[in-house]
Chain A
Amino acid sequence: MLKLIFSDLRANKATWVGAFLVAMTCGYIGGWVVSILATAQFYTDSVYRNVNQAGTILFLFSVVAGLAVIAAVANLTVAAQRRSYALWQLVNVSSRTVTAVVLAQLAVVAVLGAICGTLLSGITFAPLFPLVFSARTIFEQVVPQVRFSSMPVVWFGVSLVFLSGGFKAARSAGRTAPLQALTAQPLKKFGMTWIRLLLFTVLLAATSWFSHSTISGGPNNGMDRSVYLPILIIATLVPIAPVLFLALMKLWTSIVPQSCVTWFLARRMALYNFSLSTSVQTPIMVGFGLVSGILTILNTMRHYAVNIGVTDFNGLDMTSTILVMGGPILLSAVGSAASIGMTARSRVGDVKLLAISGASPKTLISAAICEAFIHSANATLIGVIAVAASNFVVSKGLALPPFVDMTVADGLIVSLLGFMILITVLVPTSFALSRKDVV
């Protein structure tokens, strides 16, 4: 079994490297959280509180993006290799063994990635600490401390999320009909599951309660914690991504006439690729939603502060910006890039099929760019909905007109970054086209 686990990891390294990079990023951010919290232990009173709070903020704001990206990438990793798993069954490896091997592979990659990430954070924590906290004078006296003995907590956490995120896909890998390996069936589409529905219901209930208490609490009770509302709304939208994202994408992409062959191909491929894995759009939505959502709430609060005559409302300084948005942006970028890299093989196949059908290189490259735009724009639109919803609730709580303080410009930087990353779909497309032999 050990041989099966490692030989398969080696054989499909192109797919697993995406999962490894995501695990490494999570390990890196987790390493920072652990080191900041360890540093806090060396101090007392206000210094302790400030350093400890910085670690907690970094953790809280990264964990939503981390959970969404890890689960989506873990699912995609298994889905992209389902045909290989079907081949195992052809040589009489039992379904249960296949599931066990897949879970073991996820755990190995998660732990290795997390170890590398925490090691990297251990190396970079001390030199980068003064830069990250340069905006806070209280941190000038703080000497950064790296506690490697606490890092296994990060490894365990990352592995646990990887395993729970990929559990369903691992089970379905074990149940794939062996015939699928022979008939070269394409990847199976993912849809809503009862776990997603349950998660959505729970998060929706929590969001509703939080929104209600923000509105009813009024200006004096809701202001300080309202910055967490966008996080909660985004977390609520992630489980219903297979339905919500797909429905919205179908709607707005149908506005462009389907007689335009480039758009037609891009739209169909975007819809199909998204139905295989949500990981191509989720990281961008999370990144955009968090950045724009938090800045929008701060804008709304500044608006309220001005209305009541407070003039020294500072909003986010550079340190807070890095702590709040650094994790989600890093995870969004790595998650998007990983999902593209992991599906490169099937993209090469699709491009070849289209080329055989008579699609010109110009059409295929234009379609790849349009597909990247569709993914990025759709994720941004969902993000805008989340930002608008959180702005509506907080504005109502502060008795301000809704949507006036909404800001999307900063979030668009994340979307643009996502678009640039998704443009890497051109790499497999160009590779398929660069070869004179199409077969």
Chain B
Amino acid sequence: MKAIVARDISKSFRSGRGSKTRVTKVLKGVSLDISLGEMVSIVGPSGSGKSTLLYCLSGLEAADSGSAEIMGKQIVNADRNSLFRIRREHIGFIFQSYNLIPSLNVLENISLPARLAGRPINTEQINEILNHIGLDGRGKDSPTDMSGGEQQRVAIARTLADSSDIVFADEPTGALDTENGREVLKVLRKIGSNPERAVVMVTHNLEAAARADRVLVLKDGMVIRELASCTAAQILEAMEH
């Protein structure tokens, strides 16, 4: 089954006021298909529209035109409540800046999506996940008392516990050291290999991008190349030509 089907996604931003208004076209008709059981990386130079594409595909940002389906449900022009429902039922996020909720402790952050969706909270499973990511016994800690690497692992634990169909990761290793970054990628790769789930990752790190099944190279708001099972060097070459 297709996890994401996007056609001709366009997005522009306005800046300035009055006669100084400037319109920047960030995405210019992007189309892509992503299947369940697939991990896809999106790479490209700064300003190429990678993060905007991720946000438009996940419904965090409203595309100006085109269509995008998440697990068969249209998100472009969907009303606010439908978008909340789609996100709650199908999507998990991992951001570079962790974005954990500071008022909740680690256990509560991890169980939040399940709690919001009205699903039972499996504390045993969450403890198992915490153990797996090296945070055994830290469930009661506040995210504000944790290092960046630990916070990112909690964010990953949240998506692991939630079992959302699609995980959107925006520069998930951007703020981590090599070892923590490697651990995070290992977990994402595992999720991406699950036939019932998919991972879409935006990254600057070409080594990280090469761990995906497919790599989309974005430039000036358009997908200019698509590579399958490639190396970092091949991605770099594709970006340069």
Contacts and interface: CB of A to CB of B under 8 A. Distances in A.
Interface in A337-365: 350, 353-361, 363
Contacts of B108: 268
A360 B55 contact: no
Given A261-B116, A264-B115, A363-B116, A358 B99 contact: no
B55 A439 contact: yes
A262 to B, nearest CB: 10
B234 interface: no
Contacts of A314: none
Interface string B111-134: 011011110000000000000000
Interface in B34-79: 55, 59-62
A220 interface: no
Interface residues of A, number: 30
Contacts of B102: 186-187, 272, 350
Interface string A409-429: 000000000000000000000
A433 interface: yes
Nearest to A360: B84
Contact of A357 (B55, B85, B113, B144): B113
A91 interface: no
A363 B84 CA distance: 11
A196 to B, nearest CB: 21
Given A183-B148, A361-B81, A438 B113 contact: no
Contact of A358 (B87, B100, B104): B87
A112 interface: no
Given A186-B144, A353-B101, A357-B112, A436 B87 contact: no
Contact of B113 (A269, A358, A363, A436): A358
A231 interface: no
Count chain A CB atoms within 10 A of each CB in B85, B99, B101 and give the residue with the most. B101
A438 B60 contact: yes
Given A183-B97, A355-B84, A357-B116, A437 B61 contact: yes
Contacts of A361: 80-81, 84
Contact of A437 (B62, B89, B143): B62
A437 B88 CA distance: 16
B62 A268 contact: no
Interface in A384-439: 433, 436-439
Contacts of A149: none
Given A185-B144, A186-B144, A261-B116, A268 B103 contact: yes
Contacts of B118: 261
B175 A183 contact: yes
Interface in A160-202: 183-189
Given A261-B116, A356-B60, A439-B60, A184 B97 contact: yes
Nearest to B61: A437
Contact of B101 (A271, A354, A363): A354
Given A357-B113, A360-B84, A436-B80, A272 B103 contact: yes
A358 B84 contact: yes
A264 to B, nearest CB: 7
Given A183-B175, A433-B80, A437-B60, A357 B101 contact: yes
Contact of B93 (A186, A268, A356, A363): A356
Nearest to A438: B60
Contacts of B148: 183
B145 to A, nearest CB: 10
A356 B99 contact: yes
B24 to A, nearest CB: 15
B122 to A, nearest CB: 14
A127 B108 CA distance: 57
Nearest to A433: B80
A273 interface: yes
A264 B100 CA distance: 16
A360 B81 contact: yes
Nearest to B62: A436
A360 B62 CA distance: 17
Contacts of A184: 97
Nearest to B52: A439
Contacts of B144: 185-186, 188-189
Contact of A353 (B80, B81, B99): B99
Contacts of A356: 60, 87, 93, 99
A75 B91 CA distance: 39
Contacts of A185: 144
A353 B59 CA distance: 14
A439 B61 contact: yes
Nearest to B79: A436
B104 A268 contact: yes
Contacts of B117: 358
Contacts of A183: 97, 148, 175
Nearest to B89: A358
B82 to A, nearest CB: 11
A358 B103 contact: no
Interface of B: 55, 59-62, 80-81, 83-85, 87-89, 93, 97, 99-104, 108, 112-113, 115-118, 143-144, 148, 175
24 contacts: A183-B97, A184-B97, A185-B144, A186-B102, A186-B143, A187-B102, A261-B118, A269-B103, A271-B103, A273-B103, A350-B102, A354-B101, A355-B84, A357-B101, A357-B113, A358-B84, A358-B116, A359-B84, A433-B80, A437-B61, A437-B62, A438-B59, A438-B60, A439-B55
**Chain A to chain B: the 4 pairs with minimum beta-carbon distance, closest first:** A358-B88, A272-B103, A186-B102, A436-B62
